[in-house]
């Protein structure tokens, strides 16, 4: 089951994808989100999001700065102030 993942900055919608898992650098430690995760909200610190497209694939790193992550019924949404690249 894929997880719907969205990465949004004030300027644009950076990513809107179905992925396997995303590891988010939360303010109180990293956490991984997969499909079916319980509703959850956390602020994030500056760091890299690890996006696993498939279960055994190599993760894609996205550097983000400032923001928060929300896990809801429609997947994971990361609102970041700044995204590198």
Partner 1 sequence: MASLKELKGRINSVKSTQKITKAKQMVAAAKLRKAQAAAEAARPYAERLAEVMGSLASKVSGDSAPRLLAGTGSNQRHLLVVVNTDKGLCGGLNSNIVKEAKAKARALIEDGKDVSFYLVGKKGRAPLKRDYADSIDYQFDTSEVRNPGFEEAAAIAEELIAKYDDGTFDVAHLIYPIFQSALAQEPTAQQIIPVPAPALESAAQSDAVVEYEPGEEEILEALLPRYVKTQLFGAILEIAASEQGASMTAMDNATRNAGELIDKLTIQYNRSRQAAITTELIEIIAGAEAL
Q: How far is the CB of 75 from partner 1 (least distance, A)?
A: 12
Q: How far is the CB of 73 from partner 1 (least distance, A)?
A: 7
The answer to whether 44 and 68 have CB atoms below 8 angstroms apart is yes
20 is written with which tokens?
């396997």
Q: What is the dihedral of CA 61, 26, 53, 4, to 10 degrees?
A: -130
* Widest CA span in the chain: 32
Considering the rule CB under 8 A, would residue 9 count as an interface residue with partner 1?
yes
Considering the rule CB under 8 A, would residue 54 count as an interface residue with partner 1?
no
| Out of 12, 36, 58, 85, the residue judged to bind partner 1 by CB under 8 A | 12
**What residues line the site for partner 1 (CB under 8 A)?**
6, 8-13, 26-28, 38-43, 66-68, 70, 72-73, 77, 79, 81
């Amino acid at each position: 089951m894929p997880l719907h993942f969205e990465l949004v900055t004030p300027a644009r919608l950076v990513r809107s994808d179905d992925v396997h898992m995303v590891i988010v650098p939360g303010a109180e430690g990293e956490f991984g989100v997969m499909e079916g995760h319980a509703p959850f909200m956390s602020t994030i610190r500056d760091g890299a999001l690890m996006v696993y497209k498939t279960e055994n694939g190599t993760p894609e790193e996205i550097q983000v700065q400032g923001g928060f992550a929300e896990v809801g019924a429609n997947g994971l949404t990361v609102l970041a102030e700044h995204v590198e690249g």
